[in-house]
C-alpha cells in the first residue's frame, strides 16, 4: 500500500458547490496532517494543519479519521479561485514529509 | 522576508552536463528538503537534511547528491544530467523536527536535452 493515496480527479464542480476529497495514509503512527494547495506551475502552500480530530477555517473543513486512516478536506461554496491541486501530507515526528500526488479541483462559472 | 530562495528558476542542460541547484532559507529553519515534481507523479522526495550536518536519502535519490552547506543553505547537484531528470525541482524547509509547516521555494524548471 502506498504511503499516501489521493483520488487524482479532476473534480469539476460549478461555483457554489460543496466538494470533498479524501486522502488515505498507511502509517498509523502519523501524528500531524496537512493539506497544501498548489496552483498550476507554482509552489505548494499550506492550506490547513490538523493535529486532532479536525480543523475548520472559513469554507474549508478537514476531518481526521484515525481508525480508518484517512483525512478529508471539505470545501463549501466553491469559488473560481479554489481551482488548484490539493496535496495531502500525513506526518510522523522525526520523518520526512511525504506528499500525496494531489487531487485536482476545477471550479467553473 | 524572502523565505526560501531557489536559483536558477530555469535551466536547460545537455545530457552529461553537471549543475548545482541552490537553495537558501532565511527563517532559521532546521530541516530542508529537495523534491522533484513530474506530471502525474506528485512531489517526490530526493534528499532531505533534518539538521545542519546531516543528510538522508528520500524516495528517488539516484543521480543526485546534496550538501547542507550551513543552516541556511542546501544544494542539490546533478553530476551527469540525464533526460529522465527533466523536472521541476522544489526546495522546502521546516522549522521543527520534520513535522511542521513546510515553506517552499518557487521551483527550478530543468530541461535535459
Tens-digit pLDDT profile for residues B23-70: 999 999 999 999 999 987 789 999 999 889 999 999 999 999 999 989
Minimal CA separation from A36 to chain B, in Å: 9
Q: Which three cell numbers stand for residue A62?
A: 478537514
- Give which of A42, A37, A92, A29 is closest to A60, Cα–Cα: A37
Residue A80 — φ and ψ, nearest 5°?
-55, -35
The answer, yes or no, to whether residue B1 has pLDDT greater than 70, is no
Q: For A42, which residue in chain B has the nearest alpha carbon? A: B106
CA dist list (Å): A1 to A24, A95, B92: 10, 18, 26
Nearest to A102 among B42, B94, B102 (CB): B42
Q: What is the dihedral of CA A6, A12, A16, A22, to 10 degrees?
A: -10
The answer, yes or no, to whether residue B82 has pLDDT greater than 90, is yes
Which residues are CB-neighbours of B26 under 8 A, at least 6 positions away? B1, B2, B3, B5, B72
Bridge partners (DSSP) listed for residue A60: A57, A75
Give the start-end residues of each E strand in chain A. Answer: 4-6, 11-14, 19-25, 32-38, 45-50, 54-57, 60-65, 70-75, 84-91, 103-108
Which residues are CB-neighbours of B62 under 8 A, at least 6 positions away? none
- Give which of A74, A86, A99 is closest to A40, Cα–Cα: A86
Q: Do B41 and A101 touch (CB under 8 A)?
A: yes
What is the DSSP pairing of strand A70-75 with strand A60-65?
antiparallel
Residue with cell string 532546521: B30
Q: Do B48 and A45 touch (CB under 8 A)?
A: no
Mean pLDDT, residues A19-46 = 89
pLDDT interval class at B19 (50, 70, 90):
very high
pLDDT interval class at A1 (50, 70, 90):
low
Q: Which three cell numbers stand for residue A5?
A: 493515496
Instruction: Give yes or no for B110 touching A (CB within 8 A).
Output: no
Q: What are the pLDDT digits (tens) for A37-86?
A: 999 989 999 999 888 888 899 999 999 988 888 899 999 999 999 999 99
Instruction: Give yes or no for B63 touching A (CB within 8 A).
Output: no
Minimal CA separation from B79 to chain A, in Å: 24
Q: Which three cell numbers stand for residue B36?
A: 522533484
**Mean pLDDT of all residues belonging to chain B:** 93
The Cα B93–Cα B103 span in angstroms is 5
The answer, yes or no, to whether residue A94 has pLDDT greater than 80, is no
The answer, yes or no, to whether residue A99 has pLDDT greater than 90, is no
pLDDT interval class at A29 (50, 70, 90):
confident
Q: What is the pLDDT of residue B99?
A: 56
Amino acid at each position: 500500500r502506498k504511503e499516501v493515496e489521493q483520488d487524482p480527479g479532476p473534480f469539476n464542480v460549478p461555483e457554489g458547490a460543496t466538494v470533498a476529497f479524501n486522502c488515505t495514509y498507511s502509517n498509523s503512527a502519523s501524528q500531524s496532517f496537512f493539506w497544501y494547495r498548489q496552483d498550476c506551475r507554482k509552489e505548494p502552500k499550506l492550506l490547513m494543519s490538523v493535529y486532532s480530530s479536525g480543523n475548520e477555517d472559513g469554507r474549508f473543513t478537514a476531518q481526521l479519521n484515525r481508525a480508518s486512516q484517512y483525512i478529508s478536506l471539505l470545501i463549501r461554496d466553491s469559488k473560481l479561485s479554489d481551482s488548484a491541486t490539493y496535496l495531502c501530507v500525513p506526518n510522523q515526528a522525526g520523518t520526512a514529509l511525504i506528499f500525496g500526488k494531489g487531487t485536482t479541483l476545477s471550479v467553473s462559472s | 522576508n524572502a523565505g526560501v530562495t531557489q536559483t536558477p528558476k530555469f535551466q536547460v542542460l545537455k545530457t552529461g552536463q553537471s549543475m548545482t541547484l541552490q537553495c537558501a532559507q532565511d527563517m532559521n529553519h532546521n530541516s530542508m528538503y529537495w523534491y522533484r515534481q513530474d506530471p502525474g507523479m506528485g512531489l517526490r522526495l530526493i534528499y532531505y537534511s533534518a539538521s545542519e550536518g546531516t543528510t538522508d536519502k528520500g524516495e528517488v535519490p539516484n543521480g543526485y547528491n546534496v550538501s547542507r552547506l550551513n543552516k541556511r543553505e542546501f544544494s542539490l547537484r546533478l553530476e551527469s544530467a540525464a533526460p529522465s531528470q527533466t523536472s521541476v525541482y522544489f526546495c522546502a524547509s521546516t522549522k521543527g523536527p520534520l513535522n511542521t509547516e513546510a515553506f517552499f521555494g518557487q521551483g527550478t524548471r530543468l530541461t535535459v536535452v
